[in-house]
Each structure stands twice: as structure tokens, then as C-alpha cells.
Amino acid sequence: MASTAVSPHRLAALLGDFDREPAYLGLANALGLLVIDGRLPHGAKLPSERVLATALDVSRTTATRAYALLCERGYARARHGSGTYARLADGRNRVRDRVLMPRLDAGHIDLGSAATSAPPGIAAALTAAAQDAVPYLGGHGYFPGGVPELQQAIAAHFESRGLATRPDQILVTPGALSGAAVVMHALAGPGDRVLVEDPAYPNIPRALSGSGARLVPNPLDSDGWDLEATTAVVRRARARAAYLVPDFQNPTGHLMTSEQRERYAAALADAGTIPVVDEAAQQLLLDDGEMPPPFAAFHPQTITLGSASKIYWGGLRLGWIRAPRSLIDDLVRARIGLDLGTPVLDQLALARLLTDGGDVRTAQRARLREQRDALLSALAQHLPDWRVRRAAGGLSAWCELPRPVASALCASAEARGVVVAPGSIFAVNGRLESFVRIPWIRPPAEMREAVLRLADAWLATRDQPLGHEQRRVTVA
């Protein structure tokens, strides 16, 4: 099996100051946490005991005992004559489960990803699309920009938000994430700097760095974007592009105000940095009121990414790019290096949903509202010492724990049948061990049950001795 070797230097940095009383136990605990939360990936080759002992300034016996305990606990495997490898009991699938893949074990409540089942109305749109596709069958079916009906419907969606948009400014993609990869291939090459929010939805940094760009983290604080600090970061970085999620940022849930958008746009314009704005959750305002204007209203060079995944269904695998006309040819060229377009049938279903899907959107928001309220009131009742901001929309609660033990809490919660993601998964440049993200994606009764299990897991973990994580917390 091909595996990545973790250098002793990197491992020492990840471990930080582990508990040394006794050292073998502290080291095994710290290594186990790194495996659980994915920072030591499944299959990664660990340094030899001798090398590890030197790098950490511990005895060889300590390193040997720590590895032995790690193997005994199932977080590593020793291969005779080859070395020690990080391991998760369920292998790679489980590693992916933590971010995106649904968990199907009976009785488990999977809150590992912020994505819902399809709301009513999706099946009808898919069925009707089969008829709509008939006239297309006489052609070759390749639409690298998108099927014209859908480009028009997306352009109309932007017009309804006050942004004049022509259909030929739209490129349909297999989701917003894929849109991000296309944009980066068109805009940024090796060594270019790209600003990214920290914390971030974990697949974004991967998509952004795919073209070789260097990521510059812009930290969000507990109130969201600090425009003074952000302006300084933008000025210093002189980045090619800045990736922002102003609408119910994932994972923090923050919504950027109009004034912040205006200031942010001005800072980017001054620095010559192109805004790439991910609107994946734009249609998920759950409280009364209105959404602020789109970021592109403040910066005409903005490239906007949209998604059908959150308001309709992730299984449609559709999103879009809206860009200034002058960039579209470059974007089409970049996308052709990745794929040649998305299925006609699915695009026709989405065109129907965008034009006639008001009821679907209303139903989706109504159930999310009910689920959010059930989650937040259960958290207030059963976990009153957690700090939970009430987000006006989106899909998740970003919860701050009184102590930085999120990875251990999540492992303990999983043993009790509820999967949630620790803050470290979203950290671009820090550990965020004081945070967990809980998406309100299941019906109210399940959300309440999930909180009861989390409260039980919290009782089991909240008083555990702090290891190396304590001094390394980054506030989101």
C-alpha cells in the first residue's frame, strides 16, 4: 500500500507539549487524538521509534511503549520489518465519513456533514426533467457552459437579487466546490497567494491549493470578520484572489453585513485582489428579514459561486459560477481541463426548481428552522456551559466548549452513536480544539436525542486532563 511518511519534525510540531507523566501514556494519548481527528491520516507511516525518541527528546523505551499502546488501542499497526502506520478501525472510509460521507449504521445519528436529505418536490422535478430532455436527444448533449435553460434561470436568479446578469456570464458546474477548483485553475498558478477564511469548510483549502496556490489564512473571530484586521491582511498579502463565504459561513454561521461587504470589497479593490465569493448557503436565511446585497454588488470583478446542494439537494451535484464576461473564456478553458459539463437531465431538473421551485425552497427553510430551534433549545437545556451563537440561517451551530477537548468529545460521542465534527477539521492554521460543529440536518426528535448523547459524552470527557492541546487553541 502506498503511504505518506510523516517526518519526525512534522510529528513533533503536531504533538506539541504532550503530558509527560508518564510520558509513554501522554505520547500514546496525543498520537491517538491526531489519528482520530485526521491530522495523522489513515495509512501514514510514523517515524521509527529511534527517530521519534530523538525528535521528542524521550527515551527509546518511551517511544516503544507509546507505539505499542497505540497499536493495542487500534490507532496504529506495526508491520514487521516495515514500520508503524497510523490506522483507524474502519479504514479510509471512516476518515472520509468525518467530513462528508454519510454514516449508515443503524441507530447512529450522523451529523458529520452539513447536508440534508432531499426536501419534497425534488423527485417531481427529476421526473419532469426526463420529458424536458427529449428535445435535446437529437444533439450531442455537451454543454461546457451549461444547458441554455439553466443558464437563463440562474441569470434570472441573480437579476432578482439586483445584479444585472446575462446567461453567458454563467458556467454550470458539478457543485460550488468544483466551481472553486475551476476558478483557481483559471486564476492562480504555483506560488500565487490566495486568502482563505480560517476556519473554513475543509474541502475548500484543498480545492484552492489544487492549482499550486499558497493559502494565506484570514482568521475569523467570535463575531465574524474583523474588518480592520482583514484589511491589514489583505494589504499585506497582495493575494491574487480571496475566497469568502459571507452567507452563513461554514462552519461558524456568520453572516457578513452590508457595511462589512462594502469595506471588504474596497480593501480587495485597493489590493488588486479578486473576490471569489462562495454563496453555497445564500438561500438559507431562516429568521425574518432580508439578506444583505450580494458581494458582487460592491465589487464588479467578483466571481460568485452558487450551489443547488443546500437549498435543494446535494445529490443533484450542481452549482454555478457567475463571472464578468471578460473572464468566461478563461473559465471555460479551465473547466474543459477538468470535465466537459454536467448531465443535461440534472440541469433541466434544476432549471425547473429555480423557476417553479418556490414551494420547495419554502419547505426546505421551514424544516431547517424547526430543526435549528430544536437543536438550540436542547443545547441550552442540556449543555448550558457551551457557548452557542444563534445563527440567523445556514445549516450549523458552531459551539465553543469550556475546555479544548473537542477531539476527545467527538470520539466519545461517536461511541454513543452520534457523529459530529471537531473544530480541528475546519482549522486552516490552528487547532480549534475548543469547538464542535453541529448541523441541524435531522428531524427535531433526532436533534434532541443527539444532544442527549452529546451531553453524556461531555460528562465523560469534560474533566479529562488537558494534554498538548491546551496551549494551542485558536479562537475562531
List helix spans (H) across 84-194: 91-97, 122-132, 148-160, 176-187
Smallest separation (angstroms) from ligand PLP to the CB of 21: 41
Q: From the CB of residue 245, how many other CB atoms can be counted at a distance below 10 Å?
A: 26
171/54 Cα distance (integer angstroms): 54
Smallest separation (angstroms) from ligand PLP to the CB of 291: 16
Q: Under the criterion CB under 6 A, does residue 202 sit at the interface with ligand PLP?
A: no
For 9, the enclosing helix (H) or strand (E) is: helix 8-15
Nearer to ligand PLP, 181 or 344 (CB): 181
Nearer to ligand PLP, 157 or 403 (CB): 157
Q: Judging by DSSP bridges, how do beta strands 83-86 and 76-79 pair with one another?
A: antiparallel
105, three cell numbers: 449504521
Determine which residue in the list 183, 195, 280, 321 makes contact with ligand PLP, applying CB under 6 A. Answer: 280
Determine which residue in the list 46, 176, 182, 255 makes contact with ligand PLP, applying CB under 6 A. Answer: 176
421/93 Cα distance (integer angstroms): 15
Binding to ligand PLP (CB under 6 A) within 387-406 occurs at none
Q: Is 88 left (phi over 0), alpha (psi -120 to 50) or beta?
A: beta
CA distances (Å), origin 414, targets 149, 424, 466: 44, 16, 20
Q: Which residue is nearest to ligand PLP (CB)?
A: 175
Nearer to ligand PLP, 114 or 391 (CB): 114
Q: Under the criterion CB under 6 A, does residue 307 sit at the interface with ligand PLP?
A: yes
Smallest separation (angstroms) from ligand PLP to the CB of 126: 17
Smallest separation (angstroms) from ligand PLP to the CB of 114: 5
List helix spans (H) across 43-189: 49-56, 60-72, 91-97, 122-132, 148-160, 176-187
Q: Under the criterion CB under 6 A, does residue 304 sit at the interface with ligand PLP?
A: no
Q: Under the criterion CB under 6 A, does residue 201 sit at the interface with ligand PLP?
A: yes
Nearest partner of 412 among 468, 460, 375, 465, judged by Cα: 460
Smallest separation (angstroms) from ligand PLP to the CB of 205: 11
Q: Under the criterion CB under 6 A, does residue 314 sit at the interface with ligand PLP?
A: yes
DSSP 362-424: HHHHHHHHHHHHHHHHHHHHH-TTSEE---SBSSEEEEE-SSS-HHHHHHHHHHTTEE-EEGG
Q: Under the criterion CB under 6 A, does residue 278 sit at the interface with ligand PLP?
A: yes
Smallest separation (angstroms) from ligand PLP to the CB of 321: 11
32/40 Cα distance (integer angstroms): 9
Nearest partner of 306 among 476, 133, 453, 157, judged by Cα: 157
Determine which residue in the list 114, 171, 184, 323 makes contact with ligand PLP, applying CB under 6 A. Answer: 114
313/306 Cα distance (integer angstroms): 13
Q: Under the criterion CB under 6 A, does residue 146 sit at the interface with ligand PLP?
A: no
Could you give the string, one character per residue 234-273, with x where binding to ligand PLP holds by CB under 6 A and - elsewhere?
-----------x----x-----------------------
Binding to ligand PLP (CB under 6 A) within 435-454 occurs at none
Determine the interface stretch with ligand PLP among 170-178, 265-273, 287-295, 354-362 (rule: CB under 6 A). Answer: 170-178
List contacts with ligand PLP (CB under 6 A): 114, 175-177, 201, 245, 250, 278, 280, 307, 309, 314, 319
